[in-house]
Amino acid sequence: MKAVDQVRARSQQQCELCQSAEPLEVYEVPPASYASADNIINICHHCRTQIDKKAPIDNEHWRCLTTAMWSEVPGIQVVSWRMLNRLRNESWAMENLDMLYLADDLLTWAKATGDHENDGTVDLHKDANGNLLQDGDTVVLIKSLDVKGSTLNAKLGTVVRNIRLVQDNTEQIEGKIEGQTIVILTKYLRKQN
């Protein structure tokens, strides 16, 4: 039986972290050099987006770790430890973190991504008004911009369709203006509804 099939059978059609029955996805706990039932877990989309820092952390949702952290599955223990560290400003999370024991090899694995050093804040792409931006959105320029290395001048009110988020910089998006793909700072954009 493949590792993924073992994980699906083990989870009994529930998120292995929060017990949700919403659609599940297989998550390989990084860093993993090979896939095994120990380093793969079955989780819901809600948990996945917060683990991947693509949504603000929902403190109340993660109270599920009070139960999940006792799992015998190493991948669940590692993810629980990482998320409890992100939530360490919450008293309940700190208490659970104090109780959670990981063997040395699991602790090394849990610390390998450096995720435990971060707090629960998530940097997301937002426009000038604080609206959340997503790939494929349509935005409007709120300031005329000169494009570096080009004679192009993007005028105030220009509509940019089907934007792409710059993954490693939440202050930038990519979009096409007059057929040219350019990088635009999010502080000069307003999301169009």
Kindly list the domain boundaries of the chain, sorted by start residue: 3-117, 139-191
Quick check: 20 pLDDT over 80?
yes
pLDDT band at 43 (very low <50, low <70, confident <90, very high): very high
Compute the average pLDDT of residues 164-170.
88
Q: How confident is the model over 46-83, as pLDDT tens digits?
A: 999 999 888 888 999 999 999 999 999 999 999 999 99
Average pLDDT, the chain: 90
CATH number 2.30.30.40 is the correct assignment for the domain at 139-191 = yes
Rounded mean pLDDT, 155-182: 91
User: Residue 24 in contact with residue 40, Cβ under 8 Å?
Assistant: no
What pTM was computed for the model?
0.70
**pLDDT attached to residue 114:** 79
Q: Is the pLDDT of residue 152 over 90?
A: no
Q: Is the pLDDT reported for residue 174 higher than 70?
A: yes
Is residue 117 predicted with pLDDT exceeding 80?
no
Predicted confidence (pLDDT) at residue 157 exceeds the cutoff of 80? yes
pLDDT tier at 34, thresholds 50, 70, 90: confident
Compute the average pLDDT of residues 167-182.
90
pLDDT > 90? residue 113: no
